[in-house]
Amino acid sequence: MSQIGRVRGVLRAGSIVFGVSSIALIGFPDVFNALLGLTTTADLEWAMRMMGVTLVALAGNMFSVSIRGSDDSVILSGWVMLVCAFTLGVLTLLLPAELNWFTIVYAAIGFGFSAAYAVVFVGKTKQ
């Protein structure tokens, strides 16, 4: 598979993960906050729902780029997501709450996607 094909695959997988996260944030922000170890409030739940809606847009755009984007747009999106996924992992570990199994897993997912993009970008392309 070509490098572009592999980036498309990582984008597609990431769009699914962000899509699931968006559903959790919109529908169950209190549960998501509790899993992160945050004390939930009406204000925080509102902010998490807003973030969930934003993730719907991101997931949709990632999926769209993965199936219909030009090679250049796929590469650009991959680099943007490499940085953003890594940053998501870091920020998750820096939450103002005690680390627990969920925050560690959530951070690992971010780092995992960042690593997947990095591997695709530095790996040899099979023809």
Predicted pLDDT of residue 126: 56
Predicted pLDDT of residue 124: 65
- For the stretch 16-75, pLDDT in tens is 999 999 999 999 999 999 999 999 999 999 999 999 999 999 999 999 999 999 999 999
pLDDT at 86 over 80: yes
pTM check: above 0.95? no
Q: How confident is the model at residue 91 (pLDDT cuts 50, 70, 90)?
A: very high
Domain spans, the chain: 3-120
Contacts of 60 (CB under 8 A, 6+ apart): 15
Mean pLDDT of 70-86: 97
Mean pLDDT of 109-117: 98
CA distance to 49, 61, 62, 98, per residue, from 18 (Å): 13, 11, 9, 24
Higher pLDDT, 123 or 22: 22
Predicted pLDDT of residue 125: 57
Question: What would the two tokens of residue 35 be?
Answer: 């899993």
Predicted pLDDT of residue 1: 82
